[in-house]
Amino acid sequence: MRRGTVRRCLTVPIFALTLLSMAKVFIPTARLENGSEMQKLSLGLYNVPRDQVKAVVDAGLAAGLRSFDSASFYDNEVEVGEALRSWMASGHDRSELFVTTKVWTTDLGDPESAARSAETWGP
């Protein structure tokens, strides 16, 4: 991939988890400049109620998803982190995961906003 090239990732709607939980699916990947392989499909966690986050993340992980999309605005980053840490405690490695977050307009210009999100969900 050339420097500056943007590859689009697809965010999975929650209703698609029913299909995903039925079997592992092939998910195409893109090689990053550091040599890592990142899935081109990401599970979006917007509007997932806190009490349902673990079930949604677990279903995505069971289907083979390793890329998750969150944001502090979603108000469920703590639960996302708990679900991912639980998965890792069962013998999986953090290096298998990609977690993305977004900076809300109120945090523009604050270089620590992404770091706060990473601390909230980050293993």
Tokens found for residue 33: 């400049």
> For residues 117 and 103, what is the distance between their CA atoms, to the nearest angstrom?
9
Instruction: Supply φ then ψ for residue 83, to 5 degrees.
Output: -65, -45
Tokens found for residue 49: 């109620």
* Residue recorded with tokens 């279903």: 59
Is 46 noted as a catalytic residue in this protein? no
| Catalytic residue of the set 68, 74, 87, 121 | 74
Pick from 82, 71, 76: nearest CA to 122: 82
Active-site residue set: 74
